[in-house]
Amino acid sequence: MRKVTIKASADVALVKYWGKKDEKLRLPENGSLSMKLEGIETTTTVEFREGLAKDDVKIDGEFKNNEVRRVIKHLDRVRDLARFNLKAKVVSVNNFPKATGLSSSGSGFAALTMAASRAAGLDLDEKDLSILARLGSGSACRCVCGGFVEWLNGDSSKTSYAKTILSKKHWDIRDVVVVVESKRKSVSSTEGHNYSGTSLLYKERQKRIEKKIKKVKLAIREKEFGKLGKLVEAEALEFHSVLLTSDPPLLAWYPGTVQVMHEVLKMREEGVEAYFTISTGFNVHVLTLPIFEERVKKRIKRLALVEDVLLAKVGGKPEEIEKHLY
């Protein structure tokens, strides 16, 4: 069978999904919007082979039990669709620290879904790939798309998928991705979703989220960076207010996270158009325009609690590449 390698970029959620109406199917309580990130990527090679007694899965050079189990479960979904039972060899690498709030499960399961389905001989379109990827990791359903992406708020597995709303050519936005810590977070988002409803703020958030999605989409369509930045930053703070007021509370930020947030506010006072957003981790996305990118990078790099700075721009759809990992 064919050996397939896919490179998929992660995304940054501009309006975040939090809470699930169906845990098993990973159906979110709300729709969400994101931007793909060229430069922040997972590459995965998959080959189904005769004679393999079990799946052989290596991620970033390691064989971690819980990660491997989740990958094998996903391979089983592909095998069910392809109606065969061959085991696979899977090698996957990330060019950014995983499980630190930078959507590595999104890019990881998008790359795995595409590589495994093609290696199994399946020819799935974007919608079916998105539905399949969602079963592995929620945000992965957005990562099979490109550019600016919307995950529709469907009520069933068939209607809960993501689509590209505008391609990466629409607008050149930059994301200065700030790593304040590269070791994995203690609470995964998969677990965190379960506590969402315990926050007294959650219901109010949900009431307003459709309207917010419309506003953010309009700011993207009309390329109004100031409007977009303000909405996205306020959304991140609202989202973290839900995390902080949940039971158990989830304090995702580290001291370095807060240092970066303050620096962004300071830069804005000086006329630099930069806005932060943070997912369920401590690392920070600083969204800016190309003219400010270098300045933002330099300022952030100087901060005492910053480990590394990665540069990303709006990314496209996952791509099949010739260079296999094994």
User: Which chain residues interact with ligand PMV by CB under 6 A?
Assistant: 13, 16-18, 32, 105-106, 137-139, 189-190, 279-280
Q: Which is nearer to ligand PMV, 31 or 229 (CB)?
A: 31
Give 5 or 137: the residue with its C-beta nearer to ligand PMV. Answer: 137
Query: Would you say 190 or 241 has its CB closer to ligand PMV?
Result: 190
Instruction: Compute the least distance from the CB of residue 10 to ligand PMV, in Å.
Output: 10
Is the Cβ of residue 58 or residue 70 nearer to ligand PMV in the bound state? 70
The smaller minimum CB distance to ligand PMV, of residues 9 and 139, is found at 139
**CB of 5 or CB of 153, closer to ligand PMV:** 153
Of 153, 155, 163, 169, nearest to 133 by C-alpha is 163
Find the shortest distance in angstroms from Cβ 199 to ligand PMV: 14
Q: What are phi and psi of 312, to 5 degrees?
A: -135, 150
Q: What is the nearest approach in angstroms of ligand PMV to the Cβ of residue 267?
A: 24
CB closer to ligand PMV out of 13 and 111: 13
- Closest distance to ligand PMV from the beta carbon of 190 (Å): 5
Question: In whole angstroms, how close is the CB of 232 to ligand PMV at the nearest point?
Answer: 12
